[in-house]
Homo-oligomer: A and B are copies of this chain.
Amino acid sequence: MALIVQKFGGTSVGSIERIEQVADKVKKFRESGDDLVVVLSAMSGETNRLIDLAKQITEKPEPRELDVIVSTGEQVTIALLTMALMKRGVPAVSYTGNQVRILTDSAHNKARILQIDDQKIRADLKAGRVVVVAGFQGVDEQGNITTLGRGGSDTTGVALAAALKADECQIYTDVDGVYTTDPRVVPHARRLEKITFEEMLEMASLGSKVLQIRSVEFAGKYNVPLRVLHSFKEGPGTLITIDEEESMEQPIISGIAFNRDEAKLTIRGVPDTPGVAFKILGPISASNIEVDMIVQNVSHDNTTDFTFTVHRNEYDNALSVLQKTANEIGAREVIGDTKIAKVSIVGVGMRSHAGVASRMFEALAKESINIQMISTSEIKVSVVIEEKYLELAVRALHTAFELDAPVRQSE
């Protein structure tokens, strides 16, 4: 008999009908004999409605009071699901973050979980009850209601699974797993049976928005097996777990991530003196602009070119900061480009395989796609290309790394 934590997001509990469906699903699981803790988000749209109410009072709501309001969203869904379970003859009980007690720090609207009291939950599980817990919320040492910030329900699920030493934390969502790449771009993309935490982190941060990064980090840290599943379709989903040594046969590349959210800025003819990188990036970071890729080429004639990418929303902002810097340090010019895309190959397998990068570049060259920037980490290679080639690049790489499904998946 296993102990499973199941987390259902806002879309999965977005209406009474959906909540009834979740209840059916939970009941079926319960009947198979597993102990179940269910973590819920607010009904989709509800959190925004509540924030909007607060914003009607003031543009900058008091963070403590905002948490008092926003936390009501999950409080409603946990009670509704518990009622739906009891209607089906499944003993169940609901707990708010405060009731559990999920102790957090006092950073309202973005609190971090410090400790979870598992006493009540264990007693209820022992008594044969399904325990339904409000995600996204907790309570601080002083008894103030806190929230973990957007997507925090995943974190609640993982943290509960860690505290209870659960066998698995299942995240139910609107996709049936993690794919080798976005099926909208590559129709024969494959669902992965398994992926490592590290790979998932790279996939997630690169735009596969299946799971919150924070919850994956958390799961990795406490080694909680995570499984992504579809809320209303059957299927094994994708298991996210540690890198098991025995997996000799695992493919070199697990997936291909991409995004078109970035813009590129280059400052040219920078005098190549020590500390110049800081002189350039210091003002950018002081303006609260996050930088992603950074590339500096080797210098010639004692000057160098320095290129980095930022989120497209920050492009204008970054450009004006950079132009000021260019004047100060006597750089030749500043150029920028918003029509770029980033494509990355991700896989723990590349650690032990040489030639992964060259195979990537070869595949892109075959399609005459010019590479503008390159950046590598232990389990990923990212390139920046012209935006219009994005789909072509992803498809070419998907084929080159043998990720295509033998038979097309039915949707």
Q: Using CB atoms and an 8 Å cutoff, list the residues of chain A in contact with chain B.
A: 16, 19-20, 50, 53-54, 56-58, 61-62, 64-66, 68-69, 71-72, 75-76, 78-80, 82-84, 86-87, 93-94, 96, 98-99, 143-145
Interface contact B80-A16, CB-CB below 8 Å: no
Interface contact B99-A57, CB-CB below 8 Å: no
Interface contact B62-A86, CB-CB below 8 Å: yes
Interface contact B50-A65, CB-CB below 8 Å: no
Report Cα–Cα, A86/B65, bound state, in Å.
Answer: 10
Interface contact A83-B57, CB-CB below 8 Å: yes
Interface contact A57-B20, CB-CB below 8 Å: yes
Report Cα–Cα, A57/B65, bound state, in Å.
Answer: 30
Interface contact A87-B58, CB-CB below 8 Å: yes
Interface contact B57-A16, CB-CB below 8 Å: yes
Report Cα–Cα, A82/B53, bound state, in Å.
Answer: 13
Contacts of A78 in B (CB 8 A): 68
- Min CB distance, A409 to chain B, in Å? 35
Interface contact B94-A65, CB-CB below 8 Å: yes
Contacts of A58 in B (CB 8 A): 83-84, 86-87
Contacts of A98 in B (CB 8 A): 98
Report Cα–Cα, A409/B209, bound state, in Å.
Answer: 65
Contacts of A57 in B (CB 8 A): 16, 19-20, 80, 83-84, 87
Report Cα–Cα, A96/B16, bound state, in Å.
Answer: 27
Interface contact B76-A62, CB-CB below 8 Å: no
Q: Given A69-B75, A69-B80, 8 more contacts at CB 8 Å?
A: A54-B80, A58-B87, A62-B82, A62-B83, A65-B80, A66-B83, A71-B75, A99-B145
Which of chain B's residues has its CB closest to A52's CB?
B16
Report Cα–Cα, A126/B82, bound state, in Å.
Answer: 41
Contacts of A84 in B (CB 8 A): 57-58
Contacts of A19 in B (CB 8 A): 57
Cβ contacts A to B, 27 pairs, < 8 Å: A16-B53, A16-B57, A19-B57, A20-B57, A53-B76, A53-B80, A54-B79, A54-B80, A57-B87, A58-B86, A64-B93, A65-B79, A65-B80, A65-B82, A65-B83, A66-B83, A68-B75, A68-B78, A68-B82, A68-B96, A69-B76, A69-B79, A72-B75, A72-B76, A96-B145, A98-B98, A99-B144
Report Cα–Cα, A93/B72, bound state, in Å.
Answer: 17
Report Cα–Cα, A94/B108, bound state, in Å.
Answer: 14
- Min CB distance, A20 to chain B, in Å? 7
Return the 8 tightest CB-CB contacts between A and B, nearest first: A72-B72, A68-B79, A65-B79, A69-B79, A16-B56, A58-B87, A57-B83, A65-B82
- Min CB distance, A104 to chain B, in Å? 15
Report Cα–Cα, A80/B54, bound state, in Å.
Answer: 6
Contacts of A65 in B (CB 8 A): 79-80, 82-83, 86, 94
Interface contact B54-A83, CB-CB below 8 Å: yes
Report Cα–Cα, A76/B64, bound state, in Å.
Answer: 12
- Min CB distance, A6 to chain B, in Å? 19
Report Cα–Cα, A71/B54, bound state, in Å.
Answer: 18
- Min CB distance, A364 to chain B, in Å? 53
Contacts of A87 in B (CB 8 A): 57-58
Report Cα–Cα, A144/B75, bound state, in Å.
Answer: 13
Report Cα–Cα, A17/B143, bound state, in Å.
Answer: 30
Contacts of A144 in B (CB 8 A): 99
Which of chain B's residues has its CB closest to A87's CB?
B58
- Min CB distance, A129 to chain B, in Å? 12
Contacts of A80 in B (CB 8 A): 53-54, 57, 65, 69
- Min CB distance, A73 to chain B, in Å? 8
Which of chain B's residues has its CB closest to A84's CB?
B57
